[in-house]
Amino acid sequence: MPSLAPAAIRTRVRIPLRFGDGYETEAEVVTFTGLEDGLEHLALGLGAFDAVDVPLVRPHSECLTGDVFGSQRCDCGAQLREAAERITDAGGWLLYLRQEGRGIGLYNKLDAYALQDQGLDTYAANRALEFADDERDYTAAAQMLAALGVRRAALLTNNPDKPARLRELGLQVEAVHRTGVHLRPANAHYLRAKAEQTGHALDLGGLLGRAA
């Protein structure tokens, strides 16, 4: 198991949140010093985050197009909205990780979209741009949780790589809970690729035909 360099809490501030559909909650937003990659990741404490033995944690990678502009080509914005409510109900942490486009950056992600428009799937497009299928690193996420005193957690994710990587980094993952399947006509090909190529826990079943 790799040893983690210690990170420290820099600032804590309470921020009321309101989503586009009217859902409201309040977050304790935490910033850090000493994160390995030097990026400005955030931890949002939701609900009774400081009163639960096993907090619910979602490591959510930034997606400007989905989270901010409501892009229908992915499920990121819908997962973010779902996570905010589920973590508020359970108590825990939303880790907002600055890893746009599975770690390749915003411009490269849009280049990959252009290749997808030519028929490549999301992973083939990354490889055509000479990137790995997934360039993300979860060391900073593990550092953040350690700085927050979180040693045990339940994860909210469909991606089998996240619990595996965080376990390798020393987090005791007690359970893994799936997010919903946020299927739309514009993201059906994307979700199918995630399920078939990287084992995401997405029960698409007969939904693909209805989304077409």
Q: Please tell me which residue in 58, 86, 102, 136 is annotated as part of the active site.
A: 136
Q: Please tell me which residue in 37, 134, 137, 161 is annotated as part of the active site.
A: 134
Long-range contact set of residues 160-163: C-beta below 8 Å, sequence gap at least 24: 160/198, 160/199, 160/200, 160/201, 161/134, 161/198, 162/59, 162/138
Containing 87, the helix (H) or strand (E) segment is helix 76-90
Residue 75 falls in the annotated catalytic set: no
- CA separation for the pair 125, 211 (Å, rounded): 23
Count the neighbouring beta carbons within 10 Å of the beta carbon of residue 21. 6
Residue 136 falls in the annotated catalytic set: yes
Residue 205 is which amino acid?
Answer: G
Comparing CA positions, the residue from 32, 25, 62 lying closest to residue 46 is 25
- Give residues with Cβ within 8 angstroms of 165, minimum separation 6: 138
What are the residue numbers of the active site? 134, 136
